[in-house]
Structure 1
Amino acid sequence: MIGWRLVPALLCAPLALLLYFLSAFLSLLVRQARSPLRHLPGPSSPSFFLGNLREMHDQENNNLVARWTAAFGSTFVYRGFLGGRRLMTVDPLAVNHIMSRGYDYPKPDFVRDSLASMTGGYEGLLTADGDMHRKQNPAFSAAQIKSMTPVFWDKATRLRDVWLEIVTSQQSFTPADPLTLHEPVADARKRDPEPATAPVLSPSALTTSFLPNPFSSFVPSKASPTLPSSYRSRRNRRRGESTASSPLSPNGAASPLDDPEEKEQEKARIPEDGIRTSSRIDVLPWLARATLDVIGEAGFGYHFGALESAAERRGDESELARAYGVIFGTARKFRVMTILQVWFPFLRHFRRENSATQQATEVTRKIGLELIEQRRSAIAAEELSEKADAIEGDKTALDRDLLSVLIRSNISQEPSKQMSINEILNQISTFLAAGHETSSSALTWMLFALGRHPEVQKRLREELRSVDLPSPFSPSPGSLSASTSPSVSPSTPSSSHPSSPCLSSAFSSTHHIPTPTPELLDRLVHLPYLDAVVREGLRLYAPITTTMRVATAPDAVPLATPIVDARGRACTSIAVAPGDIISVPIQAMNTLGSRGDESEFMPERWLRAGADAEGERRKGVQGLWANMLTFGGGNPVNGNRSCIGYRFALSEIKVFLYVLVRDLEFSADPAVEIEKKVNVVTRPCVKSEPERGNQMPLYVRQASPPSERTPAL
């Protein structure tokens, strides 16, 4: 009898759970059906479950937003999961209204969840809202950014030297992405150079569900991918030897350029003009390593040594880089559970992390606490000795990184406005996530654009060379060689390893390159054509192509251009309800226009008469910088969600372009089609080689001396 009495009780729990899910699901459908967005025009939905999301995952290559805008106007709706309507607008007045009210229009929960898993929690600048975000939003001054410029110069110069060594030695190799997990191999020469099975893709290219992963085309940059089977068989027949005896690349795989036929084809694509030394280099992972080192040292005083590790072909990464590789790889996974947790908040209580992620989180917390304690102790010692009374300035190495600035600012606040330890820890991950891939992506695309437009590159180089540098900074371009090119002296513990035999002794020289003077660096970042190139690059290749917001209260979003809804009514504003999602296509807004040249790389547009010509052309887009939304909105009304590190990024990009383009020439193979692949940031991929993942192959050679005529690339 007692057992029978327990049956109803046992059935109550699953029944209650079923009722919860049904009620939440029905509530979701009812809210979507009653949304005021239902009256707006938009494209038809090919799938009830996926809506328009399948075609949107490739929108940076298929011109989707432009086609939709031409068909439905500047403001329309598209469908998300389960047919949910989402507002998309390129109307400048509507975008300004939404972007200037960061606290009224925060990021949707599923976006915040993804960012939180990447940055270690909901207490960082990218994920915090309201009062928590207000006290975390310091404005890094121009003086503080200027004090970090020597770090930019140091890494840019080292990267230039490495590429020059590759060019002169004709031994090109591709390092792995520093924040990507790779199978550990004790001895690279023991690895099968041509495995029978394809390499495992990055976690970001996988999905744990039956849903198509909208980011499945993303694979991180990696060294020496598996060679196509047709090429392997052809090469083996010609050589009559085992693939195991093939020369090895740094990670153990055979290089395609080992084949004589491939070498001849490669030569045919290299311009011949008397300067023969030219190498095909995948610039993406090299720039990723250089910018990782920059954000490590300038952001929070940590020496990753990623660039030096690749230059010396050691194949090892720092403890913190390995940990963040686990965290970022896990965060980029696309899961059905992420969407279900938005629909059914109760499921958030069942989140679990695997052991690898837990261990990685423990490592980042341990190292982060050590970095924070070092800076707090140094700042306390300064206050006691009365050596420093202000935050700004370049007094010591500890004073100039962003974490020190943040801690100093935090100490000076009232106790109620100070950040907790967890909040400061989140900022370390935020600095890394926001300041690493975005800069490397922007620099990669700019070098690509310069490689496709040799006349722009030539004009830029002429301007860069107009700034005279003392000989210790940069040798005469004609004298750059494996025997004479200087190198940056090891400035970090991670770069003090003995030089690899792969690099010439000149590149491991201990000759110190003096730090550029503030006056010189100030002149560099204000060069007009360099500024125009950077503006045009960030306009045409925005690292973050789309941002999403969600309405938290009923609102009427004003429109600069009225639209006609599905009922035939003219609308000068759009009504939104709580929970309505709005997409702002940043990249599309940067390139949409009526002139017809918006999709062309044309830095001269920024030098036209009229200081605000480009802003007027975009009819009032109130961006933080250059009348663009690349760094977010620039006129906050209630909540500023724009990029606090935009000055940092601009200075870093300009210094890298100065050092690299002044002494190196870049060209792109016109036969190679490069596509954009988006996974948090926009990265390049060769359309015909999707199996090789993200890459940007460019031909790099030593620039001609100023006295000689620079040949066409």
Structure 2
Amino acid sequence: MDSTTLYTLLLLFTLISYLLSGLITLLVRQFLSPLSLLRGPPCPSLFMGNLGEMHDQENNNLVAEWEAAYGSTFVYRGFIGGCRLMTTDLVAVAHILGNAYDYPKPDFVRDSLCSMVAGNEGLLTVEGDVHKRQRKILTPAFSSSHIKSLTPIFWDKATELRDIWLHTAPQADEKDTNEPKPSIFPGYERVDVLKWLGRATLDAMGLAGFGYHFNSLTADENELAQAFGVIFSTARKFRVMTILQVWFPFLRRFRRNSAVMAKAQETMRRIGLELIEERSRAVTEEHRQVLLGKGGEIDGDKTILGRDILSVLIRSNIATAATQNMSLNEVLCQISTFIAAGHETTSSALTWCLYALVQHPLVQRKLRAALRDVERDLQLEHAGLEESDPQLYQQTLTDRLSKCEYLDWVIRESLRVHAPVTSTMRVCMRDEDVIPVTSRQHCLDKTGKRLDGIRVKKWDIITIPIQAINKSQALWGEDAWAFKPERWAQPPSTAKAIPGLYSNTLTFLNGNPLDGNRACIGYKFALIEMKIFLYTLLKDIEFRQDPSMVIEKKVNVVTRPFVKSEPELGNQMPLYIRRAPPSDESSLSRSTPSSPSSPPPPHIA
């Protein structure tokens, strides 16, 4: 036997031993896990467990059916039949989210996020003391006062998108001609709102995040945008190899398109370093000028430099003790984290909000009337302000939108019914724990015995179904699946128990943190951006949908739409637009209730 053959056999033996070791470790953990004593749905596949049927859960009522059959806390099966806990029990959810550093994201989830944001040292992926330190440094960049200073960027990009759409959209009173029209609605134009909102929010995130011009609305070619697109689209792809990489980490180095990914990551790193160097020089010079001129310390939120998040981060980093500040690589990872978290989720949320409004045209009309009322009232109270001081007018309008009740209701309801992120996964890192539950009545083991709590051990995986809790009939009533903004006039008392950061939903998470806050640090940023975009677009544009077109949801990191009859076109949300008629009665916003809604069928949930 020659040396090459011997080496090959040795390598093969090592590989098989490694795989068997990982498999045995997995099976032993499953055998010892107390989760195996809980009830749950049957396992349809030894290899995939329940993961196959869960992959399409947003287009059916799967979690609700499981909850009805097995209670609010049950076990489903993952890879090789591994037990995973799923709970909609609000006390259990608060315990898990409220002890975030004892229940971090599993390694395979973090690895997937690392691929998406091209690094493992961003706020999305770090845990424990590192996360606490980074969040403290980043907090000034997401304060209400600082976000308010970024709103001109949102106005500019929302207006730019509106003008692009109005350029192609017919007038509301446009007369039909004999020329054939591509639209199924005479007088309307078809646009993919997902694509265009993605471009607009990417532009806004580039400028607000780090002062970078993507110019996605006006040009298709941008080196950084293309690099991020490659990384994010590749990271979202789900394959069998993805499952294997969960339990056998060494396989993660054998990713498909690894050369393409490496090139894209290098592009992001190069441009990111240039941005950091540019901002660092400016902040250092600013710091020097402040010290020379006033002899005091720099005030990170009142200096003359640009107010993009990266600049504020660098200022905050300088003001932090050397032992506690971020490294260069940590700062670099925040850039891709800003893009992923601040662009994909917001564009998805806006897309689903417009979808809800085309499904409920009376709500759309009522919201448009309310938004026009805001504009009209402001112009009556401050005649000529828009021309004499556009900046003050814009600031005042932003404040008025923040107080627009019906706009707030629509956004709350849209984020409840169409959460951009539909579930979150955690892993127990305590040696043992007993997760408290609301009531023994709803927590049973396989024998029917009622449990005072859920016993878990280290490495047990837990899934919190955000969307299922947001649409739970036990919490929101029989019409929980329906889009009804008016429910926010008096939310049901049962929903007030949801331990969410925002509006009694888990869309932005929270759990009333006891140790470690993993809630969305940029939720205020997202909300004001959504309000400005919805105001700018809906005030002047009317949206409709082809009633024969079935829109379904596909969850890959965020919830994205696709047309069931056009799967080859990938993610899209085709809507039909025209310039909104000027005759929408303003009184609608004050007196007319929206149309009653019944729960939508599962395929448009």
Q: Which runs of 5+ in 2 are unaligned?
A: 173-177, 380-385, 589-593, 596-605
Q: Which has the higher helix share?
A: 2
Residues 1:291 and 2:201 aligned together? yes
After TM superposition, the runs of 4+ consecutive aligned structure 1 residues lying more than 6 A away are 3-10, 259-262, 349-353, 707-713
Aligned-partner Cα distance in 2 for 1:10–1:447? 58
Q: Bigger CA drift: 414-423 or 559-568?
A: 559-568
SS of residue matched to 2:453:
strand
CA RMSD of aligned residues (A): 3.0
The 5-angstrom pairing of residues 43-192 of structure 1 reads 43-137=41-135, 138-139=138-139, 140-168=142-170
**Which residue of structure 1 aligns with residue 602 of structure 2?**
none
Give 1:425 deviation, angstroms: 0.5
The 5-angstrom pairing of residues 258-277 of structure 1 reads 263=182, 266-267=183-184, 269-270=185-186, 277=187
Aligned-partner Cα distance in 1 for 2:267–2:368? 44
Aligned-partner Cα distance in 1 for 2:257–2:563? 34
**Which residue of structure 1 aligns with residue 354 of structure 2?**
447
**Do the aligned partners of 2:428 and 2:460 also contact (CA within 8 Å) in 1?**
yes
Residues 1:371 and 2:371 aligned together? no
Give 1:670 deviation, angstroms: 2.6
Give 1:706 deviation, angstroms: 4.8
1:412 aligns with one of 319, 341, 350:
319
Identity fraction in percent = 55
**Do the aligned partners of 2:171 and 2:579 also contact (CA within 8 Å) in 1?**
no
**Do the aligned partners of 1:110 and 1:339 also contact (CA within 8 Å) in 2?**
no
1:524 to 1:676, Cα distance in 2 relative to 1, 3 A: same
**Which residue of structure 2 aligns with residue 530 of structure 1?**
407
Aligned-partner Cα distance in 2 for 1:666–1:8? 68
Give 1:332 deviation, angstroms: 1.9
**Which residue of structure 2 aligns with residue 680 of structure 1?**
557
Residues 1:659 and 2:536 aligned together? yes
Give 1:568 deviation, angstroms: 2.5
Q: Bigger CA drift: 337-346 or 527-536?
A: 337-346
Give 1:668 deviation, angstroms: 2.2
Aligned-partner Cα distance in 1 for 2:82–2:163? 53
2:433 aligns with one of 555, 558, 561:
555
SS of residue matched to 2:168:
helix
Give 1:515 deviation, angstroms: 6.8
1:9 to 1:304, Cα distance in 2 relative to 1, 3 A: closer
**Do the aligned partners of 2:425 and 2:464 also contact (CA within 8 Å) in 1?**
yes
Aligned-partner Cα distance in 1 for 2:116–2:336? 8
Aligned-partner Cα distance in 2 for 1:707–1:600? 25
Give 1:354 deviation, angstroms: 2.9
**Which residue of structure 2 aligns with residue 572 of structure 1?**
452
Give 1:592 deviation, angstroms: 0.5
**Which residue of structure 1 aligns with residue 211 of structure 2?**
301
SS of residue matched to 2:124:
coil
The 5-angstrom pairing of residues 375-524 of structure 1 reads 375-386=279-290, 389-393=298-302, 396=304, 398-468=305-375, 516-524=393-401
Aligned-partner Cα distance in 1 for 2:364–2:247? 50
Q: Bigger CA drift: 48-57 or 619-628?
A: 619-628
**Do the aligned partners of 2:496 and 2:504 also contact (CA within 8 Å) in 1?**
no
Give 1:76 deviation, angstroms: 0.5
Q: Bigger CA drift: 541-550 or 630-639?
A: 630-639
Deviations 1:488-512 (A, max 9, x none): xxxxxxxxxxxxxxxxxxxxxxxx9
The 5-angstrom pairing of residues 214-293 of structure 1 reads 263=182, 266-267=183-184, 269-270=185-186, 277-293=187-203
**Which residue of structure 2 aligns with residue 500 of structure 1?**
none
Q: Bigger CA drift: 384-393 or 135-144?
A: 384-393
In the superposition, the TM-score normalised over structure 2's length comes to 0.87
**Do the aligned partners of 2:369 and 2:586 also contact (CA within 8 Å) in 1?**
no
**Which residue of structure 1 aligns with residue 523 of structure 2?**
646
Give 1:343 deviation, angstroms: 2.2
Deviations 1:99-139 (A, max 9, x none): 11211111111111111011122100110011211111132
Aligned-partner Cα distance in 1 for 2:223–2:356? 35
Aligned-partner Cα distance in 1 for 2:550–2:22? 46
Q: Which runs of 5+ in 1 are unaligned?
A: 171-258, 271-276, 310-315, 472-485, 487-511
Aligned-partner Cα distance in 1 for 2:191–2:3? 74
Aligned-partner Cα distance in 1 for 2:92–2:259? 45
Aligned-partner Cα distance in 2 for 1:643–1:656? 20
1:465 to 1:25, Cα distance in 2 relative to 1, 3 A: same
Q: What amino acid does structure 2 have at the position aligned with 1:35?
A: S
Residue-pair matches, total: 568
The 5-angstrom pairing of residues 553-632 of structure 1 reads 553=430, 554-562=432-440, 563-594=443-474, 595-608=477-490, 613-614=491-492, 616-618=493-495, 620-632=497-509
**Do the aligned partners of 2:193 and 2:574 also contact (CA within 8 Å) in 1?**
yes
Aligned-partner Cα distance in 2 for 1:602–1:58? 24
Give 1:391 deviation, angstroms: 2.3
Q: Bigger CA drift: 84-93 or 332-341?
A: 332-341
1:373 to 1:45, Cα distance in 2 relative to 1, 3 A: same
Aligned-partner Cα distance in 2 for 1:370–1:528? 43
**Which residue of structure 2 aligns with residue 475 of structure 1?**
none
**Do the aligned partners of 2:98 and 2:513 also contact (CA within 8 Å) in 1?**
yes
Aligned-partner Cα distance in 1 for 2:326–2:417? 37
Aligned-partner Cα distance in 2 for 1:416–1:9? 47
Give 1:710 deviation, angstroms: 10
SS of residue matched to 1:306:
coil
1:663 to 1:418, Cα distance in 2 relative to 1, 3 A: same
**Do the aligned partners of 1:704 and 1:710 also contact (CA within 8 Å) in 2?**
no
SS of residue matched to 2:218:
helix
Deviations 1:551-594 (A, max 9, x none): 11211111103222102211121011111111111011000123
**Which residue of structure 2 aligns with residue 358 of structure 1?**
262
